[in-house]
Homo-oligomer: A and B are copies of this chain.
Amino acid sequence: MNGLMMDSQLTITSIMKHADRINGKSEIVSVTGDNPLHKYTYKDAFRRVRQMANALQRVGFQSGDRIATLAWNDYRHFELYYSISCSGQVCHTVNPRLFPEQIEYIINHAEDKFVFTDPMFVPLLEQLQDRLATVQGFVVMTDAANMPETSLKNAHCYETFIADESESFDWPELEENSASSMCYTSGTTGNPKGVLYSHRSTVLHSIVGSTPEVMNLAAEDVVMPIVPMFHVNAWGTAYNGPMVGAKLVFPGPKMADGDTLTKLINSEKVNYSLGVPTVWLALVGYLNDTGKTIESLNSVVCGGSACPLSLMQEMEKHGVVVHMGWGMTEMSPLGSYNRPQEWMQDGTQQEQDTWRVRAGRVVFGVEMKIVDGDNNELPWDGVASGALLVKGPWVCSGYYRLDDKPAVDEEGWFNTGDMAAIDEQGYVTITDRIKDVIKSGGEWISSIDVENAAMSHPDVQEAAVIGVSHPKWTERPLLIVIPVEGSTPDKDAILASLDGKIAKWWTPEDCVFVEEIPHTATGKISKKDLRDQFKEYAYS
């Protein structure tokens, strides 16, 4: 027997209509290439979204067509999120930081019909265009005055493209499981894989993301997503911001520029922001160097990779509480969120420090389990560490056009590729990437735990740990360190400093100093490159 409730579909269109009607007065503030500070309201935005929908219809896109964006966070990119998805097409956000070959692969694999691009990526696309078989045209996200000369075929200027279009549009009734947007993950091995979000997954992720136990977003908030809009939909803020009526602040191409971020926070009274550790390092560095303050900013979420405790403490000196978040492109991205809880105040400082660096608590909607190498479920005791498997309405069930590579196991679980321990209250600690875990004498060593321990030494600027082969233990950890500039690091002292912070047998056999540690396009340490670099290294 079914319930007698309306069959209302969960669509991005419903977010747009709600925001337009209820939160129309809320503002969107952007830095763009052609404007240092563009301001308008949601009502203005959705008026232009309807113009763009008419323009897309004029070009003749069909339902399900992929349309790419190659752009930073600003109001035009925001408009495309809605005009493309609510028209029934798929908004495919491409990461412009990838290698040109990867961008070419991604656009061809997705068979994108059009590319919307920031002016700064026009030269890149000019180089690639002859190899982009399906792309029929380009729209440069700027106005006529700033439109660059270009050899791109069928190139339009964004403002001209929509200028003559009507401000009203009859939105199609979309089915909630229809595709809305797309993002490719750039793993460390193999070709990038496409994750295809649905209207339903996006709406559910947005509602849960705004709840008090997660981002806690309301109309009075001023939210600045520094995480790129090409990186898992700016972690959902381009959707849940409008849903709740928060003011949105987009830093455009100035993502890791302390000066721009500080000015925006202060002029727009940003109280919540989102980004990877690199961004917060840049901000803290700038504030410490200049003595400037950021009074309005209360809390930020840090994701993408683990946030060192030292960075959290630095941020706290500037009045900002750092919440860890964990997720992935395949999870839209929300999996867990670490919000300080009242009961934590009763813990010792050391306990609190241990608690706050964890990946956070499982959010409602996501099911998790951890399993050992034989797929046996492990207990949630905060100690047992295993492969982290997830399920949920915003977790991918497969990759785009990779039907031969199932993304989930027979019971429908998606393997995150992370190793984790979970405690009895659902707090997740990511202990390693499965492929980075070090297998020593049949036991697992968490490279992340060792790295975090090493990071707390004052001479260590960045640390990475990889497993290298060992005649007796199969693998043993090697610590690779970038020393703090001007320091005179001593490897024995650094290794000795780990004592008491990690299990004795986890202590690396050796420590080497380097000037650079390779990173992936999304800012994570590339263990694969490090292992290549140190493949000749062996313990004897």
Hey, which bits of chain A sit against chain B, CB under 8 A? Answer: 1-8, 10, 14-15, 17-18, 21-25, 63-64, 90, 175, 177-180, 195-201, 204, 207-208, 210-213, 216-220, 243-245, 332, 341-342, 361-362, 364-365, 367, 380, 391-400, 408, 412, 414, 424-426
Contact = CB atoms under 8 A, between A and B. Distances in A.
Residue among A5, A220, A342, A425 having the largest count of chain B Cβ atoms under 10 Å: A5
B207 A380 contact: no
* Majority secondary structure, A binding face: loop
B213 A2 contact: no
A97 to B, nearest CB: 24
Contacts of A211: 207, 210-212, 218, 244
Contacts of A177: 2-3, 5
Contacts of A243: 364
A14 B392 CA distance: 10
Contact of A207 (B195, B196, B364): B364
A380 B21 CA distance: 9
B212 A4 contact: no
Contact of A6 (B7, B24, B341, B395): B395
Contacts of A200: 3, 5
A393 B17 contact: no
A397 to B, nearest CB: 5
B213 A212 contact: no
B397 A4 contact: yes
B3 A361 contact: no
Given A3-B179, A178-B3, A380-B21, A216 B212 contact: yes
A245 B339 CA distance: 14
Contacts of A22: 361-362, 425-426
A3 B218 contact: no
A23 to B, nearest CB: 8
Nearest to A414: B6
Contacts of A14: 364-365, 367
Contacts of A391: 6, 8
Contacts of A342: 220
B212 A396 contact: no
Contacts of A210: 211-212
Contact of A196 (B3, B10, B392): B3
A197 B424 CA distance: 32
Nearest to A412: B6
Given A1-B90, A217-B212, A244-B212, A7 B207 contact: no
B7 A397 contact: yes
A403 to B, nearest CB: 10
A424 B399 CA distance: 43
Contacts of A21: 362, 380, 426
A243 to B, nearest CB: 5
Given A22-B362, A212-B218, A244-B213, A3 B197 contact: yes
Contacts of A426: 21-22
A399 B4 CA distance: 7
Nearest to A62: B1
Nearest to A398: B4
Nearest to A22: B426
A424 B25 CA distance: 9
Contacts of A220: 341-342
Residue among A8, A17, A195, A398 having the largest count of chain B Cβ atoms under 10 Å: A8
A400 B5 CA distance: 11
B90 A397 contact: no
A44 to B, nearest CB: 15
Contacts of A179: 1-4
Identify the 6 closest CB pairs spanning chains A and B, nearest first: A3-B198, A1-B64, A22-B426, A212-B218, A5-B201, A8-B393
A88 to B, nearest CB: 9
A206 to B, nearest CB: 9
A15 B363 CA distance: 11
A366 to B, nearest CB: 9
Contacts of A424: 24
A179 B2 CA distance: 5
Residue among A10, A22, A23 having the largest count of chain B Cβ atoms under 10 Å: A22
A187 B244 CA distance: 34
Contacts of A362: 18, 21-22
Contacts of A198: 2-5
B364 A4 contact: no
A257 to B, nearest CB: 30
Contacts of A412: 6
A211 B218 CA distance: 8
A393 B8 CA distance: 5
Contacts of A216: 212, 218
Contacts of A180: 3
B364 A5 contact: no
Contacts of A17: 367
Contacts of A1: 63-64, 90, 178-179, 196
